[in-house]
Chain A
């Protein structure tokens, strides 16, 4: 692994609720290397989105260290581009306007904003849709704008929170291929949250499996599949083997949840 870009050590987080304390994360350790693509998978409610929110600086932590390039993070910042599961495109701005919005906030010169915005939209295959409003775009296109927006201001790393979770299967596949293509060409440090094991294995260099709540990293699986990756990869035995390994690891967790549920019912 290359020099770690993102380091997470002993990260813990507990939510205080009316019904007592709910531990969400209990001692998460994870490193993401420079220009490495790491996917974080886990059952729903395991705290993986909480982890991403903390790395994004949008939520506080109770214990531990999160650092990018050895600088501990304390607040949200332009060094981390975030793609949310809900597309979060501002509906009153066009596709180009949404990208330009981020560029302007990042202090890009007004003369360059338009050019870069168009470049970024072309990168995700949306040339010709610059002047379309979010309501005129499909779910997949909206998320492409969101990716273009997060990439536009050149963050040091990209945080993606189940970005394709709300898309239909076919569109999801297109988006995975698109993301792989962009990533293979432009290389960037990515932390990608998903509950789709196939997606995680297809996209990543390493897949980190999270335990049930309270979440910690249970296992990290290195995905030593060749690049460039194309969709035919999915049917190869190597892919199947890795897919199986990650799936088994997660299934152990979901079986635990089911057993716990039955125990509580009794």
Chain B
């Protein structure tokens, strides 16, 4: 049971102390410093647990190498230039794959978000394909295009495009009905309503959808590289596994995590910059 609140005697101001109840309230705000502090503490805690587990010999190094070994391996890989090469290849593939997917998905998602007949034509089909596991397309895409970059783009596209179409459709549909009605009362043409009202209104949500689907695109890229590639992060992980280089696998996994976190934060930052008007001053 929580202790009863201390009464402040004689109206004297009580000593300032952190109010625990404040943090337990749903959605209670915290400062950026607090946020970063908590996040860093969780990372540090995990690192500590990892160090302890390996230092005390709970797990064989083959399965879980110590953080130190992973860091050393990371440095070796970075010094040899392999790390940069692999990252460059993978980043190139994801950039092209994701951009193609987004450029296709944007007009189609907007179209079926605006017009019900187009929605009827496309949405069920997209849903149908969306439920086919992307991994199952890997053999087929290799058959179609070989094991080059095109196959990677294709896998990223299959994994991202169909999801994006539905996300963008929903983003457009969430534009308030009265915004469109406003355009009508101003005698704007449907095209102008789309360009001047619907798109700017849906843009912040569309940006968020892009950020979320970019995370998925990373997964599909690595899947494609794991199965058939001669370069890239996924390829390096597969070869490392063949030689039982668990530390290399971990080094690349951490790299993937860091890349994901960085792009996500960059997208979030861009969102705040682009859509400043959403925040009350």
Contacts and interface: CB of A to CB of B under 8 A. Distances in A.
B208 to A, nearest CB: 15
Interface string A73-92: 00111101110101010111
Contacts of B201: 90-92
A62 interface: no
Interface in A29-53: none
Interface residues of A, number: 25
Nearest to A84: B178
Given A58-B181, A92-B277, A135-B278, 6 more contacts: A56-B181, A88-B178, A88-B179, A101-B196, A105-B183, A105-B186
A102 B200 CA distance: 16
A58 B181 CA distance: 7
Contacts of A136: 280-281
B184 A58 contact: yes
Interface in B143-202: 176, 178-179, 181-188, 192, 196-197, 200-201
Which of B178, B182, B192, B280 has the largest number of chain A CB atoms within 10 A? B182
B178 A106 contact: no
B185 A77 contact: yes
B119 to A, nearest CB: 19
Interface of A: 56-58, 75-78, 80-82, 84, 86, 88, 90-92, 101-102, 105-106, 133-136, 153
B20 interface: no
Contacts of A101: 186, 196
A29 B277 CA distance: 44
Contacts of A106: 186-187
A153 B184 CA distance: 14
Interface of B: 176, 178-179, 181-188, 192, 196-197, 200-201, 203, 275, 277-281
A6 B175 CA distance: 31
A88 B182 contact: yes
A82 B184 CA distance: 10
B277 A135 contact: yes
Contacts of B278: 91, 135
B187 A90 contact: no
Contact of A86 (B178, B187, B280): B178
Contacts of A88: 176, 178-179, 181-182
A150 to B, nearest CB: 8
Contacts of B280: 135-136
Contacts of A91: 201, 277-278
Given A88-B178, A90-B197, A90-B201, A81 B277 contact: no
B178 A133 contact: no
B279 A82 contact: no
